[in-house]
Each structure stands twice: as C-alpha cells, then as structure tokens.
Amino acid sequence: MSAELTIKVLFYVFAGIAILSAGAIVFMKDVLRAAFLLVLTFLSIAGVYVLLRADFIAVAQIMIYVGGILILMVFGVMLTNRVGGDRILSGTKYRKTSLAIGVAVFYILAKVIYISKFSLGSGLANDAEPMKDGSLVVIGKSIMTDYVLPFELAGVLLLVALIGASFLAAKSAENNNA
C-alpha cells in the first residue's frame, strides 16, 4: 500500500467518523452523551489536520476544544445533573421543522457547489513545498517577533476575563449565603 493511498484512506476514515458523530449529536437526546460524541468529532477533525500537515492547528484543536471548552461543558452538565437529580435531555419540539431547514440548507449549499464547478485541486499550488523548519518553528518565531503585541494583548484579555468571572462567582456565592 502506497503512502498516498494510506493518507487517502485515513482521510476518509477520519472524515467519516467526524460526519457520523456530528450527525449523531444532532439526534442524541442525552446532552452528556452528545458532549462525548462532540469529543469524538473534534478528535477526528484534529486527525484530518494532522493528515494535512497542519500539526499546530491539530494540537490547538485538541487543547482548546477538547481540553478546554468541551471539558467545561461536560462538568457543567454533570454538575447540573447532581443539583436537579434528573438527567438533562434535549428538547425535540421542533424536530420536523429542524429537519426541513437542515435539508433546505444542504440542498442550497450542494446547488451552489455544483453551479460553481468546484474542484478539490483548484486552490492548490503545483510548486508548493513544505517548510524546511517546520510549521511550529515558523509560527513560534513569528509570534515572538512580529506579533508580540497582539499575543500579549490576547493574554491580558484572557486575564481580565478570568478576573471578571471569579468576581462574578464570588458575588454569586455571597448572594446565596446571605
């Protein structure tokens, strides 16, 4: 089996897992199970990024989405389950309407792609070469030289958000104790 065929097979496996798990999220009634399916979706998308040689994006995908946001969602769901005692189920009140809107959006997007005569290789440069130093080295050097100010501003913004969240949590705890 050639390397190119292996990459294609792995791409279709990761893409299939991502599509199936994302579709299962939509129809899952239990919110906690849907969150775990979201972990599977994010990990398979990170696998696609690795196949595209975007290692930094794959690691960022895992650290930010799986490691941060999704774990926060799971803890939130688990803590609210403990307080109320009941499992959190997603509502299915507008299932037929949601299905109709989803099918309509899919049809419109498929029609636009078909009309535009989109091809998979149209945006790729024929003479593109991989970076000699690797993408992580280039990104690290550019963050620490060219983009120091935006990087530091993002850090300050996250610090302010953390202080604000802790202030609101402390204020909420004082109101509950009083």
Q: Are residues 7 and 82 in the same domain?
A: yes
Residue 127 lies in a domain: no
Using the 3D structure, point to which of 40, 59, 90 is the last residue of a domain: 90
Percent of the chain topping pLDDT 70: 80
Residues with Cβ within 8 Å of 49's Cβ and at least 6 positions away in sequence, in order, are 55, 57, 58, 61
Residue 73 lies in a domain: yes
* DSSP SS3 for 90: coil
Phi, psi (5° rounding) for residue 128? -70, 135
**Per-residue pLDDT averaged across 39-59, rounded?**
89
Q: What pLDDT, on a 0 to 100 scale, did the predictor assign at position 19?
A: 93
Q: Are residues 16 and 67 in the same domain?
A: yes
Residue 117 lies in a domain: no
Q: What pLDDT, on a 0 to 100 scale, did the predictor assign at position 27?
A: 81
**Per-residue pLDDT averaged across 61-72, rounded?**
82
> What CA–CA distances, in Å, run from 96 to 2, 93, 175?
46, 8, 42
Q: Are residues 11 and 81 in the same domain?
A: yes
Which of these, 27, 37, 156, lies nearest to 95 by C-alpha position? 27
CATH code of 9's domain: 1.20.120.1200
Whether pLDDT at 37 is above 60? yes
Tell me the pTM: 0.61
Residue 141 lies in a domain: yes
What is the total residue count of the chain?
178
Residue 146 lies in a domain: yes
Number of domains in the chain: 2
Using the 3D structure, point to which of 90, 124, 140 is the last residue of a domain: 90
Using the 3D structure, point to which of 37, 56, 90 is the last residue of a domain: 90
Residue 45 lies in a domain: yes
Q: Are residues 7 and 85 in the same domain?
A: yes
* Domain that residue 178 falls in: 132-178
pLDDT in tens, 120-164: 555 555 555 666 656 777 888 888 899 999 989 998 998 998 898
